[in-house]
Structure 1
Amino acid sequence: MKPRIAIDAMGGDEGVRVMVAGAALARHEHESFRFLFVGDETRIQTALDEHPGLKAASEILHTDEQVLGEDKPSQALRKSKNSSMGLAVNAVKQGEVSAAVSAGNTGALMAMSKLALRTMPGIDRPALSALLPTFEETDVVMLDLGANTECNARNLTQFAVMGAAYSRIIFGFDKPRVKLLNIGTEEQKGTGPLQEAAANLRAAPNLPMDFRGFTEADKLSHGDADVIVSDGFTGNIALKSLEGTARFVTDLLRRSFMSSLRSKIGFLISRPATELLRHHLDPNNHNGAVFLGLNGVVVKSHGSATPKGVANAVNVAARLVEESITERIAEDLQSFEDSLATAVRNGGDPT
């Protein structure tokens, strides 16, 4: 199936120009991609004129209404019928496109997506998932990153199933290593929902994942897990802490290198290493957060993403469509429920 992707052209810090340029980069690598740009037709046409190849593979759905960064989800929902974000998500619901990508207001996008697409059968709540850099060659999938501030054990086990399916698609792992984010690695540590979720995942050994217990926040980037599961409150704090630390390190290095003539000379000598660090920490190289658990694919791009970052988000959306993420999650979830039911029959309550 050739992916046709709706682009909310009005979202993000720079809007139309960056969203169109990012789509052009993605299509340069994947000529089968088709696009539906949603937003101000005049501005989109002007941007497309700079990318003839993309223009030939694109259509435009005009609207001059957009969701603003400061809009509350309730305000955004009132705009859902006519805003660029709402129309892009609705195009997924109507089957006109395979996926939607937006760099707009995260809370608004989640609210619209949940209302329009609904959660998959067997999934209680969708989760926001993103890729985080590690010391290893591949990133780690982390969820939930803010969609659900409070979660029970059932939510956490569903997040584990969804995250593992996502990891298998993005990285090709047969059995991704899954861990629950906790305040310690010992089995007795953590809240009741964490303990219960861990017991349930241990009781279902036939899943396409390798559950390895708990991990702590200081090990998120170690690369010893492929999927890290958390409630949205904890996950969002962990994510913001990582982003803040990355900015702190890069700013501290910049100040240090500019502090004296000797430091400036040292910077020139070490520039290849600092460029590698900058590349590894650049959020554009990991761009594309996904709302997992919905009846459709919606990808959130960073509001400050460059064209390269937008292209990465588009590529994530297309990959999930091509690999049938919703069907894969449904199959894995059914396998989990069957395995857990068997464990209960054979040995009682796994908790």
Structure 2
Amino acid sequence: MGEPHRIGVVGTGYISGAYLSTLAGHPGVTIAAVADIDTARAASVAAGIDGCRARPVEDLLQDPDIDTVLNLTVPAAHASVALGAIVNHKRVYGEKPLAADLPAARSVLDQAAAFGVTVGCAPDTVLGTGIQSARAAVDSGLIGRPLSAVAVMATPGHERWHPNPDFYYRPGGGPLLDMGPYYLSALVHLLGPIEAVTGAGSRLRDTRVIGSGPRAGERIDVAVETHVTGVLHHVGGALSTITTSFDAVRTTAAPIEVHGETGSLAVPDPNLFDGDVRLFELGSDDWRTLAPSAGYVDAGRGIGLLDMITAETPRAGGALALHVLDAMTSLLRSAEEGRRIDLTTSVERPSAVPLTAPEQWRSR
């Protein structure tokens, strides 16, 4: 890679620690600067990284020595920060979603194309051994022709543990937009792009009670559907059923199952990088666990950024993030209008990740 790639981080909240544990100290990159509206927090983070400075956001975005901006702001600021980096000819890698809505996300990619810069976007969990080994099993024909998938995310709601859960229940929140990017990104890796969706949604109650922190006991309003389910029509003919819920107590379902003519796969949680992939073959008596066969081993958040600056085409790229956002917002629109919605985007299925040992991706 030559000289280390210089990264500026905008947003030093909780998730930044996970990224910095992967990126800080990696020989291929340098965390040159951090910025946050909470200047004290940014200064504290910078003090823990050799050679890093806390900067105002605008200064960081305009700094000619910064190669890539890591955008870890809240979703409402994703587009504005990304656009600020792009007009200064910088690559951007951001937390999910790409933007708070589809028009804003399109503007990010349009501007990136105009300025000739690359955009990447979480989740990069799908590049770990869990999803990638499942994909390798599908691609090698272990389940025959893939026919369908089932994805389930069920929780009683984030207000039980989050001290400030308001944004989960406001427009732009809800279980689908919060957790859907992990599941839909995984399903595109496994089965390819989506051409249409059919959705339905419901809301268990109109208020929620905060369960922890200084606001415990406070009642907040719910303005979004808190249980969303739907069918994804993949271009290749497979059908995926997805359920995301803040209204369920517990589920025994695998996070994702993929079914084919000659076998079924139980796929691990796409919010994690690893996990067991299990296969049940036609005519067998039980599930068997497959050895990891693809993906970045022992990866953490930030592997998608490293992939973006080394691969010809980023596997956790902006085009995939736009397609996933299109699918999610179309599911919500379908639930509201009661009809099938054709997507306005498509994407090439990202290239598979070969089995890559930690010493390989940590040294290049």
> Does the alignment reach a TM-score above 0.5?
no
Normalised to the residue count of structure 2, the TM-score between the two structures is 0.36
Bigger relative contact order, structure 1 or 2, given CA contacts below 8 A and separation 6+? 1
Whose helix proportion is higher, 1 or 2? Answer: 1
Whose strand proportion is higher, 1 or 2? Answer: 2
Normalised to the residue count of structure 1, the TM-score between the two structures is 0.37
